[in-house]
Amino acid sequence: MRLTGLLVALAATGVLITGGARAAAATPPAHRAPWWRGAVIYEIYPRSFQDSNGDGRGDLRGIERRLGYLQWLGVDAIWIAPMYPSPQVDFGYDISNYEGVDPRFGSLADMERLIAAAKQHHIRVILDMVLNHTSDRHPWFIAASSSRSDPKHDWYVWSDGKPGRGPNAHDGRVPPNNWVSLFGGSAWQWVPAVHQFYYHAFYRQQPDLNWRNPQVRRAMFAVMRFWLDRGVAGFRLDAVPQLFEDPKLRDERPLGGVNAFGDPILDQSRTGDLPEVHVVMRELRRLVDSYPGDRVLIGETYLPTIQDLDRWYGGARHDELQLPMDMRLGFHGDHDHLDAAAFRRRIMAAESGLHGSEPLFVFDNHDNVRSIDRYGDGRHDPMINELLGSVLLTTRATALLYYGEEIGMHTTPPARRSQVRDPIGIRGWPKEKGRDGERTPMQWTPGPQAGFSTNPRTWLPVPANHATINVQTERADPGSQLNWYRHLIALRRGESALRDGRLRMLDPGDPNVLAYLRGDAGGGIVIAMNCSAVARTVSLHIAAAGVQPVPVETLLTNAPGLRDARSLRNLTLPPYATWIARLRGRPRSSASAN
Ligand code: NOJ
């Protein structure tokens, strides 16, 4: 799986929803402080969400138009992928001005309007912040690469290289080490004007900033203040483990084999997660904490172990990021498949390995094949998508949703190389088809361009399946995936046991059914999910989790036969079905086994 692998070197029918959740959907959000704990954060790829001016690309006014939908769905915040001025080599992750809005997406005034309008809908706005690199067209880099004596020269990572020959040689010098770009080829680019190479972890048009230079820190902190002063609720920090590189520029260790670009796979020990980055994270945390309103720092943190992830929270000190992403739950590796035991292990690791911090779970984003195409089997896809939603939205965690996930949008990769827009797909074709497939326009209606744009020439083609997979059709169908997600979100908002309650696994030896109890002395909710393709009949043993069995009341299920279930015994879950029930009566502690 592309970015994960690269960075880590690592028809639902019969939905039952009872009073609790329906009532919850109608009541205003009852947030605990801080607001982000247990929140649902919805990622918007602005090019692909809603076009308001008919140019075939989404924009900020388009997002504003859809706030009513997002409020109806129940999201607490939106994270908008980069909308800053940019040459768009990496579709906005190459920023040439951090304090503006690209005219393709609108204006600064549109962004201010969007923040204000979102507030009216009880939705906060989180921006993407790219600290690791700028565009090579950013004035900082233009100055830095003009002369070694330019005051900005040291803002980037330079090397004279070493004497040598070969394809990467310039004036008899070659790059200083074996580092490769995550997007293919050497990570070093020669600049004749300064007679040096600069380092780029991503495209060569994305030179890495030198975070050892205090002026860089000051400049980037000022940029963040610029947006915090305009009322953004926080930032999603792009590629943040990559901020520092080994000052001695030592080689990385080859792990054997080559990636889709034909480059050796390296251990990334000299370019990722270096200790100094945590000093910067603590400074950043102090910065956001100096603002009122619980501003939040979210990290794009593909990390191999829970211990690594815990360090990004600041461990027991809780003084770094509030929400580094836990990619281990949703992105297992190259061959994702539903596995109750693996989900259980990873959920419990987050429960016990993070010093009580709030996990941030995620199954989808703009860099990876959509989860339905990784976990789906082609036969039960809608049920599987609902199951993934159940895991995401019933665990004790903040949840990240990616636009379209709630309606079951699929990945639609380009059929031919000539159609590819994402440069990594052009370079890596056919092994790496790029990320266009998961960035196709949001499917709003069964009509022209899926209601995304009036322009038939959309920036990426609208998938043909919008005829059935779209917001309008699914909104009208009580048994749709969309309504399943909405009910889950409403339930979690309305039930304190689901938002705050501790999580205790039930029947941890069951290889097929993932079940847990959420709750505390105030009330308990049981969730059971069949992760297999055949019906499973189970009895859930809550006494083993320290709670006496009591009668139950079904709150939400896509297993028609379980609507009237009254106990935890002999429950038959159809393939991939979810059953969520409230314990009636207080879940008293029990000394006896069930
Ligand atoms: C991670 C972003 O999610 C991805 O889209 C981008 O290409 C790289 N970082 C580089 O900024």
Per-residue pLDDT of 389-413, as tens digits, reads: 999 999 999 999 999 999 999 999 9
Task: Provide the pLDDT for residue 522.
Answer: 60
Bridge partners (DSSP) listed for residue 504: 517
C-alpha of residue 471 to centroid of ligand 1, in Å = 28
pTM: predicted TM-score of the whole model, two decimal places: 0.94
**584 vs 219, higher pLDDT:** 219
438 is catalytic: no
Atom of ligand 1 minimally distant from the CA of 365: 3
pLDDT tens digits, 38-54: 999 999 999 999 999 99
Extract the tokens encoding 335. 């061959």
The answer to whether residues 184 and 261 touch, using CB atoms and an 8 Å cutoff, is: yes
Residue nearest to atom 3 of ligand 1 (CA): 367
Among the residue ranges 14-23, 219-228, 268-277, 351-360, the one predicted with the least confidence is 14-23
> What's the pLDDT tens digit per position in 104-129?
999 999 999 999 999 999 999 999 99
Ligand 1 mean position, distance from CA 60 (Å): 20
CA-wise closest residue to 362 among 438, 441, 300, 273: 300
pLDDT at 523 over 90: no
Confidence band for 574, pLDDT divided at 50, 70 and 90: very high
> Phi/psi zone of residue 429: left (φ > 0), alpha (ψ -120 to 50 degrees), beta?
beta
Give the chain's mean pLDDT.
Answer: 93
pLDDT in tens, 474-515: 999 999 999 999 999 999 999 999 998 999 999 999 999 999
To test the pocket of ligand 1, the residue of 89, 238, 242, 362 to mutate (highest count of ligand atoms within 8 Å of its CB) is 238
Q: Which atom of ligand 1 is nearest to the CA of 203?
A: 10
Query: Which residues sit with their C-beta closer than 6 Å to ligand 1?
Result: 90, 93, 130, 202, 238-239, 300, 366-367
Clarify whether 245 is annotated catalytic. no
Single out the catalytic residue among 300, 326, 364, 432.
300
User: Structure tokens of 560?
Assistant: 């028609």
Q: d(Cα 67, Cα 92) in Å, to the nearest integer?
A: 22
Which numbered atom of ligand 1 lies nearest the CA of 132?
A: 11
C-alpha distances in Å from residue 139, one per residue of 5, 135, 446, 587: 33, 9, 44, 61
Rounded distance between C-alpha atoms, residue 419 and residue 403, angstroms: 23
**Distance (Å) from CA 203 to ligand 1 centroid:** 10
Mean pLDDT of 331-354: 90
CATH 3.90.400.10 maps onto the chain at: 139-199
Task: In the chain, list all ranges with CATH 2.60.40.1180.
Answer: 503-592
Tokens in use for 582? 């409230």
Total count of residues recorded for the chain = 594
Q: Whose CA is nearest to atom 11 of ligand 1?
A: 93
- Residue the block writes with tokens 């006014």: 61
> Which of 2, 3, 427 is the pocket-test mutation for ligand 1 (most atoms within 8 Å of CB)?
3
Of 96, 65, 69, 61, nearest to 82 by C-alpha is 96
Q: How many angstroms does the Cα of residue 239 sit away from the middle of ligand 1?
A: 7
Cβ burial of 378 (10 Å; 0-12, 13-18, 19+) is exposed
Residue 505's DSSP bridge partners are: 516
Q: In the CATH hierarchy, which fold is given to the domain comprising 503-592?
A: Immunoglobulin-like (2.60.40)
How confident is residue 336, by pLDDT bands cut at 50, 70 and 90? confident
Class of domain 32-135+213-492: alpha beta
Q: Whose CA is nearest to atom 6 of ligand 1?
A: 93
Q: pLDDT (tens digit, 9 = 90+) per residue, 360-382?
A: 999 999 999 999 999 999 999 99
Fold of 139-199: Oligo-1,6-glucosidase; domain 2 (3.90.400)
